[in-house]
Chains A and B, each alone.
Chain A
């Protein structure tokens, strides 16, 4: 039944989406699953009331244009984002993060279409920074890359449902992933800013300290490392660099944004020695590189050709490394999160709720 309807609660928000009257929660699930509108997990019924609450929290009218996907020209409104956010389990307070992350994903340099359609099967990694993490209870400690908390779980899931429903990024449709990885259900991490002396990622990437922000990156699955047998920064970081060299050999030689997730135990050694994120990135940039001839050692001799001496760095420059303080307090672990396919997609950082069109304060 196509309908224009008024949301309850005296909001008078006019929602334009088609509505379905469904008898019971089980029938709601079957409706959404049978239409291909889910990620396979149950959804929260997106009622007009719940969707209107999200829009009101973000102070957006339903028909607010969030953006137009640059490759296929698909327009996305706030109402449609909100419906998918509610389905993912978002509360209204989570919605501004979803809007900002989605806006970042629609930037041309992110190449949303290529990254989400590719056989390479990447996910969208979201890193949250700033005060909003604490307001939402987003936790960057225990199990940081897994099911650490409600906020990161539902925000990451909302983006996947938006891709599925708004961009037709369904397996076998636009999503042509050969394998994909579990981060495609949800892949959102909050940086542990309280327990780190490092600059938060967003601040490192030019966002004012007081602002909350998200960074999105087209990301492969995390590759976990362990080194509990040293306190020397060079040795700790050599383990990370070695994992990146492995990725260059085994997966892709293209340089681009890599993320390093550095939990407290290893982070404290680096910080005690006075190493900043910039120092970490400079060291990694020097060490994470291979000769093309190394491909011959992993069964890829056919593509070495006459360029065996060519050197391939993991990043074009140190600032392509996204260093994130996150993880539980114990364990000499860390993770390298490789790019989908090098510079074909660039990580994007945006402040949450910043008005880019506002005039500067007068006087």
Chain B
């Protein structure tokens, strides 16, 4: 017996975010961190902060933590992103 069956998925890919243009250098730049606030983020971002400043000449690191690690970043954090040259979003699991 032949069945004609239907596709259970959306079939169309959701609109994907695009990566921002790559920076030629991190020298003198401002880099933002958005942490989900989990325990594992603390050491990771602390280390990354030091690496960026000492090894890559980053001028400023701005660290922000989401109020709910399971939800999107809070609106004030998202609004602040415009002031940064690059952003690193990290989860702590």
Contact = CB atoms under 8 A, between A and B. Distances in A.
Does A associate with B in a complex?
yes
A23 B2 CA distance: 4
B5 A47 contact: yes
Contacts, number: 88
B62 to A, nearest CB: 24
A344 interface: yes
B4 A17 contact: no
Interface in A32-61: 32, 37, 45-48, 51
Interface in B1-26: 1-11, 14-15
Nearest to A24: B1
Contacts of B2: 21-24
B4 A21 contact: yes
A73 interface: yes
Interface string B44-85: 000000000000000000000000101110000000000000
Nearest to B39: A303
Given A22-B2, A71-B71, A87 B10 contact: no
Interface in A266-287: none
Contacts of B71: 71, 111, 113-114, 344
Contacts of B4: 19-22, 47-48
A28 B70 contact: no
A20 B5 contact: yes
Given A114-B71, A344-B71, A74 B6 contact: no
Contacts of B14: 72-74
Q: Which of B70, B71, B72 has the most CB of A within 10 A?
A: B70
A114 B5 contact: no
B8 A87 contact: yes
A176 B42 CA distance: 21
A18 interface: yes
A165 B7 CA distance: 9
Contact of B3 (A28, A72, A115, A166): A28
Given A71-B71, A71-B72, A344-B70, A21 B6 contact: no
11 contacts: A19-B5, A21-B4, A22-B4, A24-B2, A25-B3, A37-B8, A47-B5, A71-B71, A114-B71, A166-B8, A341-B70
Given A24-B3, A87-B8, A344-B68, 14 more contacts: A17-B8, A18-B6, A19-B5, A21-B4, A24-B1, A25-B3, A45-B5, A47-B6, A71-B71, A73-B14, A75-B10, A113-B70, A165-B8, A166-B10
Interface of A: 15, 17-25, 28, 31-32, 37, 45-48, 51, 71-76, 80, 83-84, 87, 111, 113-115, 117-119, 161, 165-166, 176, 341, 344
6 nearest CB pairs, A to B: A114-B70, A18-B7, A165-B8, A17-B6, A83-B8, A45-B3
